[in-house]
Structure 1
Amino acid sequence: MKLFNHANRERTPETRRVYARFELVYTLVDFSAALCFTVGSVMFFSPAWEIPGVWFFTVGSLFFMAKPTLRLVREVKLYRMGKLERLANRAEDE
């Protein structure tokens, strides 16, 4: 079993549920990043709002940085779920 293997998310109802939850969080983070960048861009039209605009860009960047982290955490979790499943099956066979 490998990381980032599409079959990992389809093994059981539990893995499908985990994958769906991570996709929901991933989409919320993605939308939040886009919203921060849009608000930050609009704030740059006024010199008085440039500093808050910079903060919106910074927060948006952190959201964008969270996206690959979420994907990696999801894939490691699915991978480990598969390893536990194999261990349980092995224990049942003994």
Structure 2
Amino acid sequence: MRLFDPSKSQKSEAHARWYATIEIIYTIVDFAAAGLFIVGSILFFSPSAMTPALWCFLIGSVCFALKPTLRLVRQLHYLKLDKISTLADMERHHG
């Protein structure tokens, strides 16, 4: 069992569902980050809008930080699914 194995996404139906779920969330976070940076950049042109612009940049940065976090969470969940599958196989063979 190793992390970031691309074949894990197709190992089982549960793996495929989890992959799809994380990809949807990842894409939403990606668009949110890009949108916040675009809005922040536009707001930055107006001195009176500096504070909202900075908040957009900060929240956009948090979104960018979420992206690798989501990938790691997906991989850790795969490990959990693999352990459950291994335990189920052991129970079938010993039970």
Q: TM-score range by the shorter chain?
A: over 0.9
RMSD: 0.7
List structure 1 runs of 4+ shifted beyond 3 angstroms: none
* TM, length-normalised to structure 2: 0.95
Higher relative contact order (CA 8 A, sep 6+): 1
What does residue 5 of structure 1 align with? 5
Report 1:51-70 matches (<5 A): 51-70=51-70
Identity rate of aligned residues, in percent? 41
Report 1:12-31 matches (<5 A): 12-31=12-31
Partner SS state of residue 37, structure 2: helix
* TM, length-normalised to structure 1: 0.96
CA contact (8 A) 1:43 1:53 kept: yes
Aligned counterparts of 2:19 and 2:39: Cα–Cα separation in 1: 30
| Structure 2 unmatched ranges of 5 or more | none
Structure 1 residue 30, shift from structure 2 partner: 0.6
Aligned length: 94
Structure 1 residue 3, shift from structure 2 partner: 0.9
| Structure 1 unmatched ranges of 5 or more | none
